[in-house]
């Protein structure tokens, strides 16, 4: 496909690909300029690393289900509303996942199941979530339903598998709350193991329905590669992987570190992180389920030693307590990965005021066609 501005027929209603009217080259310069405006005063900003083929990169795809004129529909919520816009294929989503969602919609109709109605809170299928391991080939389908009772469950699962034998696991998740969250508390494995595995940077990772995993695997390898290059590990360092998710960065760093500690708030992600360490035979790593800020306060009180801190917080950035304790722990190097350069710039300003110097700034395009910008800043203690 060309890198010309893509013309998605759903763009206006969806609002997900805010830059889709720009050519890909223009999108990249738009993001580059944004990072220069926010962080350029500290250091030269290296050229953003884009994708060769910036389409169908998302390994995680979700669709909302509803009904129109008595027929099941599936698609996306119109931006800032709760109205479903029917969508069968999307320029940035994995094509196989989109195909499976269309099949599920047809099966819902032929099995005479109802889509969930979130006004009356009645009906069955609410959302479908699909995660795909691009290099392992494994595919997980999560059917999010309003109730646990699954009429003709076995026939439905068999019908889906016969149409898509590439599916490796199917999970039912029950979400009967009035919430904008996709997944509810209760899950049940209908087929396979209940998770997928994926290969990344020479390691294997488990991905469960709930845990965070980077959505663009091609660019994740680029991002992690750069982060590790900036960490300049020699094998002697004690590394802290803060906001570690399922432990990916810490595990990839582990052969080049003396010891790695990961901290993460999401209990499912921590569970996966521990499994991932075992899966890869990594022994010099430990994971803690905690708020990163609270964990840093305890580390600072203990006088713990970390030579390199790799941090990858959510969009809100790090809280002040985290940053204060980071400064108190005084690692030689901080590698700050962020999906929001605005909060990153705020946090970097604090670190620069408190004894750190910016050494490298590297934007990576993790989310082509959207306005989201990912950026790594490496800092060294002055
Ligand atoms: N480094 C990981 C995850 C980055 S996403 C990766 O590359 O895959 C950010 C992670 O921060 C998520 O896993 C989220 O659950 C976690 N998180 C959010 N708030 C947190 C907090 N206050 N303390 C610790 N972890 C938090």
The pLDDT tens digits of the residues spanning 190-242 come to 999 999 999 999 999 999 998 889 999 999 999 999 999 999 999 999 999 99
Minimum-distance ligand 1 atom for the alpha carbon of 319:
22
Over the stretch 24-75, which tens digit does the pLDDT of each residue have?
A: 999 999 999 999 999 999 999 999 999 999 999 999 999 999 999 999 999 9
138 vs 134: CA distance, rounded Å:
8
Which is the catalytic residue, given 8, 90, 339, 375?
Answer: 339
The finding on whether 291 has its CB within 6 A of some atom of ligand 1 is: yes
Residue 226 lies in a domain: yes
Mean pLDDT (whole number) for 131-150? 97
Name the average pLDDT for the chain: 95
Q: Which of 200, 234, 265 is the last residue of a domain?
A: 200
170 vs 191: CA distance, rounded Å:
5
Instruction: Retrieve residue 48's tokens.
Output: 């953003």
The answer on 172 and 138 residing in a single domain is yes
Over the stretch 342-375, which tens digit does the pLDDT of each residue have?
A: 999 999 999 999 999 999 999 999 999 999 999 9
- The range of the structural domain enclosing residue 94 comes to 60-200
53 is catalytic: no
Q: Which of 200, 235, 250 is the last residue of a domain?
A: 200
Q: Which of 141, 176, 200 is the last residue of a domain?
A: 200
380: CA distance to ligand 1 center in Å? 23
> For position 374, what pLDDT does the model report?
98
The answer on 232 and 300 residing in a single domain is yes
> For position 113, what pLDDT does the model report?
96
Residue 364 lies in a domain: yes
The finding on whether 322 has its CB within 6 A of some atom of ligand 1 is: no
**Smallest CA separation from ligand 1 atom 10, residue:** 243
User: Would the pLDDT of 1 be above 60?
Assistant: no
347: CA distance to ligand 1 center in Å? 16
**Smallest CA separation from ligand 1 atom 12, residue:** 245
The finding on whether 265 has its CB within 6 A of some atom of ligand 1 is: yes
User: Would the pLDDT of 89 be above 80?
Assistant: yes
The answer on 107 and 185 residing in a single domain is yes
CB 310 within 8 A of CB 338: no
Q: What percent of the chain has pLDDT over 70?
A: 98
The answer on 243 and 326 residing in a single domain is yes
Q: Please tell me the pTM assigned to this model.
A: 0.93
What CATH number is associated with residue 87?
A: 2.40.50.1070
CB 256 within 8 A of CB 284: no
The answer on 266 and 156 residing in a single domain is no
What CATH number is associated with residue 15?
A: 3.40.50.150
Number of domains in the chain: 2
111: CA distance to ligand 1 center in Å? 39
User: Would the pLDDT of 3 be above 80?
Assistant: no
Mean pLDDT (whole number) for 256-275? 95
- Pick from 137, 141, 144, 71: which is nearest to 101 by CA? 141
CA torsion 203-207-212-218 (nearest 10°) is 50
User: Would the pLDDT of 82 be above 90?
Assistant: no
The finding on whether 269 has its CB within 6 A of some atom of ligand 1 is: yes
């Amino acid at each position: 496909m060309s890198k010309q501005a893509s013309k998605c027929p759903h763009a206006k209603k969806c609002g997900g690909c805010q830059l889709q009217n720009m050519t890909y080259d223009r999108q990249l310069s738009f993001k580059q300029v944004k990072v220069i405006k926010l962080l350029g005063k500290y250091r030269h900003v290296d050229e953003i690393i884009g994708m060769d083929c910036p389409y169908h990169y998302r390994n995680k795809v979700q669709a909302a289900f509803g009904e129109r004129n008595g027929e099941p529909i599936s698609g996306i919520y119109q931006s800032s509303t709760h109205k479903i816009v029917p969508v069968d294929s999307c320029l940035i989503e994995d094509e196989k996942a989109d195909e499976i969602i269309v099949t599920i919609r047809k099966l819902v109709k032929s099995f005479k199941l109802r889509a969930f109605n979130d006004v009356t809170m009645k009906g069955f299928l609410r959302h479908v979530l699909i995660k795909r391991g691009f290099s392992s080939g494994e595919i997980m389908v999560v059917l999010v339903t309003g109730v646990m009772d699954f009429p003709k469950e076995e026939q439905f699962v068999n019908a889906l598998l016969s149409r898509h034998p590439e599916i490796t696991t199917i999970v039912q998740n029950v979400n009967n709350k009035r919430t904008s969250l996709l997944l509810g508390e209760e899950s049940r494995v209908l087929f396979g193991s209940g998770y997928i595995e994926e290969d990344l940077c020479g390691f294997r990772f488990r991905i469960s329905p709930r845990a965070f995993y980077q959505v663009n695997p091609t660019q994740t390898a680029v991002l992690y590669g750069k982060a590790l290059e900036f960490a300049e590990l020699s094998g002697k360092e004690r590394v802290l992987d803060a906001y570690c998710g399922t432990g990916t960065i810490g595990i990839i760093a582990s052969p080049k570190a003396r010891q790695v500690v990961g901290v993460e708030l999401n209990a499912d992600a921590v569970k996966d992180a521990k499994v991932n360490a075992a899966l890869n035979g990594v022994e010099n790593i430990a994971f803690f389920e905690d708020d990163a800020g609270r964990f840093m306060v305890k580390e600072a009180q203990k006088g713990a030693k970390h030579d390199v801190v790799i941090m990858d917080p959510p969009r809100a950035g790090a809280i002040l307590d985290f940053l204060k304790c980071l400064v108190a722990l005084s690692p030689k190097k901080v590698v700050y990965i962020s999906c929001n350069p605005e909060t990153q710039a705020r946090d970097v300003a604090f670190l620069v005021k408190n004894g750190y110097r910016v050494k490298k700034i590297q934007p990576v395009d993790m989310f082509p066609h959207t306005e989201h910008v990912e950026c790594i800043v490496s800092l060294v203690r002055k």
